[in-house]
Amino acid sequence: MLQGKDGIGGRAEVTRSVGSTPMSAQVPDEFVPTSELPASSKLSWRTMLAVPIAALVTIGIHFLFSKKEAPVETHSYALLFWEIIVVSFVLVGAQFYSSGLRRWMRHMCPIFTIAILSLAAWDVITLGLRLLPLPYFPGPAAVLRSLVNDRAMLLDSTWHSLFLLLSGYALGVIAGLISGLCIGWSSPVRYWGMPILKVVGPIPATAWIPLAMVLSPSAVVSAASLIALAVWFPVTMLTASGISNTRASYLDVARTLGATRSYLIFRVAVPAAVPNIFIGLFMGLGASFLTLVVAESVGVKSGLGWYVSWAQGWAEYGKVYAALIIMAAFFSTIMTLLFKIRDRVLVWQKGTIKW
C-alpha cells in the first residue's frame, strides 16, 4: 500500500493501513457471524468442527440414498469428502501456529460448511427423493464421476478455451487502447471515430457470427476476432472517456514543468485514465466470456462451450454440469487475476472496488 517504510510518518501510515485493511477486506458485510471477534483470538470449536461434521453428514446422506447405485459411482464422491475431512483436521492443527490461517479459516469456514451442506441437499433432492427428472438433473456423485472420467477431454477443452480467450482478449485490448487513446486525445479523430463507435459498438459481438463465418479463413480465427470485437468496444469507450476527462489542471501543471506532447499523453493523460481503463477491461472480460462460449458452441469444434453442447447432444448431463463447474473455476480465476493486476497498478488510488 505504502512503500515509505523508512520514514517515521510513512511507518505510521503503514501500521494504520495494515491495521484497518485486513478487517475491512475480511468483513464485507455484517452478516458474517464471527466478524466482530478480534483477529488474534482462538477459533471456537464450532468453527473448527463445522466443515468435517458437514462432510460426515453429507457422506451419511449419500450412503443412505445410494444403496442401489453402482459402487463405482459412490466411491469417488465419498473419497472426496474423506479428503475434505482429513484436510480440515490438518488445517485445524496448523492454525494454532499461524494467525493468518486462523483469520482465513474464520472467514471461510461458514462458507465451506454451507457449500458442503448444499451438496447434501442436492443429493437429497435428486438421488434421494427423485424430485427432478433424471437425465437432466443427475446427483452430485454422478457429476463428479463425469468430471473424473472425462478429465482428459475437459482439460483439453479448457486449454483450447484459454488459448482462444487470451488471444482474442489481448487483440481486443490492444486495439481498444490504441483507438481509445486516439479518440480521447485528438479532436479530429474523436469527431470521425465517435459516430462509428456509437453505431457499431453496441451491436453484440455474437450478432456478427454469420458475417465472421463467411469472412474468415478458419473458425478459430473468426472466434478470436469476435472476442476481440466484444472487448474492443468497452475498452475503447472507457479509455477515450478517461483520456478526455483528464483534469485540465494536471495538464496545465505538466506544461509549466516543461512537458513535451508525449509526456502529456503517456505520463499524464494515460495514468490519469487508468482507473477508467480498468473498468473497460473488466467489462471487456465479461463480454469475452460470453462471446467465447457462444462462438465455441456454434462454430469452433473445441473448447468448453463446444464441450457443453456436445455433451448435451448425447444427453450426458453429468458432463454438462462438470463443464459448467470447470467454466466457473476458469472464468473466476481469470477475473481474480485481473483484479490482482488492478490492485498492483492502482496502489496510488484510495478506495477501490473489492472482488
**Nearest to other proteins of 243, 320 (CB atom):** 243
C-alpha cell recorded at residue 64: 443412505
**Nearest distance, CB of residue 18 and other proteins, angstroms:** 14
Q: Which of residues 213-232 bind other proteins (CB under 8 A)?
A: none
- Report CA Rg, the chain: 26
Spatial contact of 335 and 285, defined as CB atoms under 8 Å apart: yes
Say whether residue 13 binds other proteins (CB under 8 A).
yes
SS3 123: helix
**Nearest distance, CB of residue 248 and other proteins, angstroms:** 9
Say whether residue 349 binds other proteins (CB under 8 A).
yes
**Nearest to other proteins of 192, 348 (CB atom):** 348
Say whether residue 256 binds other proteins (CB under 8 A).
yes
Say whether residue 245 binds other proteins (CB under 8 A).
no
**Nearest distance, CB of residue 271 and other proteins, angstroms:** 4
Name the one range near other proteins by CB under 8 A: 51-59, 201-209, 248-256, 289-297. 248-256
Neighbours of 186 (CB within 10 A): 15
Count the residues of the shown chain that bind other proteins, applying the rule CB under 8 A.
Answer: 32
**Nearest distance, CB of residue 4 and other proteins, angstroms:** 4
Say whether residue 263 binds other proteins (CB under 8 A).
yes
Angle between helices 99-123 and 45-65 (to 10 degrees): 20
- Give the C-alpha separation, 114 to 254, whole Å: 55
C-alpha cell recorded at residue 100: 493468518
Cα of first residue to Cα of last residue in the chain, in angstroms, is 17
Residue 10: partners with Cβ closer than 8 Å, 6 or more residues away: 2, 3, 4
- Give the C-alpha separation, 295 to 205, whole Å: 10
Spatial contact of 110 and 34, defined as CB atoms under 8 Å apart: yes
- Give the C-alpha separation, 72 to 135, whole Å: 19
**Nearest to other proteins of 190, 255 (CB atom):** 255
Q: How many residues does the chain have?
A: 355
**Nearest distance, CB of residue 1 and other proteins, angstroms:** 9
Q: Which of residues 272-311 bind other proteins (CB under 8 A)?
A: 272, 274
Say whether residue 18 binds other proteins (CB under 8 A).
no
Name the one range near other proteins by CB under 8 A: 8-16, 55-63, 105-113, 179-187. 8-16
**Nearest to other proteins of 8, 152 (CB atom):** 8
Spatial contact of 161 and 303, defined as CB atoms under 8 Å apart: yes
**Nearest distance, CB of residue 261 and other proteins, angstroms:** 11
Interface residue list for other proteins (CB under 8 A): 2-10, 13, 247, 249-250, 252-260, 263, 267-268, 271-272, 274, 347-350
